[in-house]
Amino acid sequence: MESECRIPMACFRPRVLALHALFWGLVSLRVFGASLLGEERTAANKPMAAPCWLVEEFVVTVDCSQCTAFQAKSWVACEHTGYVERVNCTKSNKDDYKSCRSAVTEGHLFWKFEAAMLVLMVLFALLVVVRQRSLDRLASEKVRRQIESI
């Protein structure tokens, strides 16, 4: 009995693991359940009609431009990207605002992504070189020891 439990926590490991699994299961159930219930409530409380540009053809009357501070806080179209364009729906002849993406901002994001990938490529290439040198050194040491033992 004494040889089995040299480390005090080793005897309780399955029990502790089961308690941890139960705890984290309940926490995740609570979090995901609350988020699902929250989505259902907001969907039930806010029935919104689809914008006209989703259901019919439209013409862009004002090109994509950055929202002002007031527009960003008050317009729903500005929330997603921070840019908005004015469209005119052809059937209903209604003017509406639609969220859009700025070509300049997209270009900046693309080059930032490319720079990050370049940095990661160089970092991992150096890591591969260092690892290969380390493995080559270990292999040559092993061969040297084998030759010395003969």
pLDDT at res. 11: 53
Amino acid at 28: S
- pLDDT tens for 78-127 read 888 889 999 988 888 888 888 888 888 889 999 999 999 999 999 999 99
C-alpha triplet 93, 96, 99: angle, nearest 5° = 145
Q: How far apart are CA 92 and CA 129, in angstroms?
A: 64
pTM above 0.75, yes or no: no
Query: pLDDT-based confidence at 139, cuts 50/70/90?
Result: very high
Q: How far apart are CA 145 and CA 138, in angstroms?
A: 11
Residue 76 corresponds to which tokens in the numbers above? 């729903």
Determine the length of the chain: 150
Q: How far apart are CA 98 and CA 52, in angstroms?
A: 10
Q: How far apart are CA 101 and CA 80, in angstroms?
A: 9
- Greater pLDDT, 133 or 39: 133
